[in-house]
Amino acid sequence: MIELSHSFDANRFLAAIDRDELATLTPHLQLVHLKSGQVLCEPGEMLAAVYLPVTTAISLQYVSSGGMTLEVAEIGSESVVCDDVIGGSGQMPCRALACRDGFVYRLDRRVFAAAFDASPVIRHLVFVCVRLLMAQVSQITFCSRHHVLKHQLCRWFLLAFDRTRSIEIQVTHSMLAQMLGVRRETVTDAAGEIQKLGLIRQYRSSIELADLGGLEKMSCGCRAIVRDEMKRILSADSGVPAASRA
C-alpha cells in the first residue's frame, strides 16, 4: 500500500470534494492494487473499507441460493463503493469484486462515515452516486431478461470500452459467465459467433474489440441508455465534474 499526497482527480468523487474536506481524508487514503476477480465482500458481509476506483471497476453481482450470479452494475472512477451507495445497512446485498487489474483508493469505513455525517457536500455526492447506480441496475436487469446473449455480450464489451477507453478488455469466459448469469460454455459459443463476424479477437485472458462500429450495430440499445443516462446525471449535477469518460 502506498500513501499518496498528490492529486486525487483520477476519481470524480474525490475531485468533487472541496480542498479543506479532502485534506481531512488525504492522510487516510491509500492506493491499493486489486487483481482481476478479487472479491471485496460477499453477500451478507460488511464491506471492510470504502473503495474509490481509479483504473479498475467494481462489479456488483447478486448471488442466488443455488450459486447463480448476475452482474447488475459496475462502479468505476465516477463513483465510490460504500455502504451508503450499495446497501445502507452495513451488510452488503451483493458480491463486490474487481472487474480487472487496477488501482483503487482505500479508505477506512469509520473515517468515511465521520466525513459523511459532517459534510453536506459528501452526503450530496453519495446521493448522486446512488442515482448513477440505479441507472445501471434498472437497465442491466431489463437487458438480462429481454435480450439475447450475443447482444448482452456486445453491450458488456462496449460499456467496458467506455470505462477503459481501451480496445483490449481484460476478461475471461468464466468471468463473463459469472457476470451474465450463464454457463461458461454458453459464453464461449456466443463469443465465438461474434468473433466469426470479425467484431472481436479472443486471447487467453483478454478480448480485443476489433470493430467498435460493428459491436454497436449488434448490441442492444442498453449500452447507449446506460452511458447517456450516467452522462446526464453527471452533467446535471454541479457537485460532480463531468469528464470525457463515462
CATH 1.10.10.10 fits domain 2-143+231-236: no
Domain extents in the chain: 2-143+231-236, 148-219
* Burial track 165-186 (b if 16+ CB lie within 10 A, e otherwise): eebebbbbbebbbbbbbbeeee
User: Which residues are paired to 73 by β-bridges?
Assistant: 60
CB atoms within 10 A of CB 114: 13
2-143+231-236 against 148-219: fold identical: no
The sheet carrying 102-108 orders its strands as 2-3, 30-34, 102-108, 49-53
| One pLDDT digit (tens) per residue for the chain, 246 residues | 444 445 688 999 999 998 888 999 999 999 999 999 999 999 989 898 999 999 999 999 999 988 899 999 999 999 999 987 776 566 888 999 999 999 999 999 999 999 999 999 999 999 999 999 999 999 999 999 999 999 999 999 999 999 888 999 999 999 999 999 999 999 999 999 999 999 999 999 999 999 999 999 999 999 999 999 999 998 876 554 444 333
Distance (Å, whole) CA 198 – CA 214? 9
Distance (Å, whole) CA 81 – CA 56? 12
CATH 3.40.50.300 fits domain 148-219: no
